[in-house]
Amino acid sequence: MLEEILYGYCHCGCNQKTKIAQRTYNTLGIKKGVPNKFIIGHGNRNKKSFLKGLKVGETIASDGYVLVYSPNHPNKDKNNRVRRSHLVVEKVLGKILPVGIIIHHFDENKLNDIPKNFVVCENRSYHLFLHQRQRALKKCGNVHWRKCPFCKQYDDPKNMVNHSNGFAHRECKSKYQQEYKKIKGGKSD
């Protein structure tokens, strides 16, 4: 059962006071002189929270992760919230995670915060690497294959050449360079 939200506090469950409305907006149900039901941006999270069966004090951030109101946590954000996935991992490990650690959800469902669904990533780079591998596995069945940025097809890196920060088919890269030179009028920088 959900706890009752006090008058003048945000209905998303973040326990923050709302501002008094300065104007009336009938279409939004806002009346001048009455506290707003939500802090700006929290209204949609409340709907999502209700639909997803979250507890009071839990909200869904714009990036899809569940945030828990935790004012005493050393790594809290400016609104005193911490990602629920971090709290679960910290409970399992028995210690606070360092700043910069990213929790990867193996099934890519950010609401599924069970320990066997997690991979603890030391940085954003490794987290993005895991996503790249998962995309390759889904598309072509081989985590080692890379996607050509020109033809958008996956292939063995042995059949490709280095391109910027990745791999590309030699033919695709040549065709792109020829088209680029035509557009630039034959100029090469």
pLDDT at residue number 50: 46
Q: Strand runs (DSSP E) across the chain, as ranges?
A: 58-60, 66-69, 81-83, 102-105, 118-121, 146-147, 154-155, 161-163, 166-168
Sign of CA dihedral 173, 177, 178, 180: positive
- For the chain, the distance separating the N- and C-terminal CA atoms, rounded to the nearest angstrom, is 66
What per-residue confidence (pLDDT) applies to 55? 76
For the chain, give the mean pLDDT: 84
| Domain boundary assignment for the chain | 1-60, 62-144, 148-189
Alpha helices for 33-168 (secondary structure H): 42-52, 84-93, 124-140
pLDDT in tens, 23-39: 887 766 678 888 887 77
Looking at residue 23, what is its pLDDT?
86
- Report d(CA 66, CA 90) in Å as an integer: 15
Give the pTM. Answer: 0.62
- Of residues 17 and 3, more confidently modeled: 17
Span 85-109, mean pLDDT?
A: 94
What is the C-alpha to C-alpha distance for residues 173 and 13, in angstroms, rounded to an integer? Answer: 52
pLDDT score of 156 more than 70: yes
Nearest CA to 16 among 62, 65, 53, 71?
71
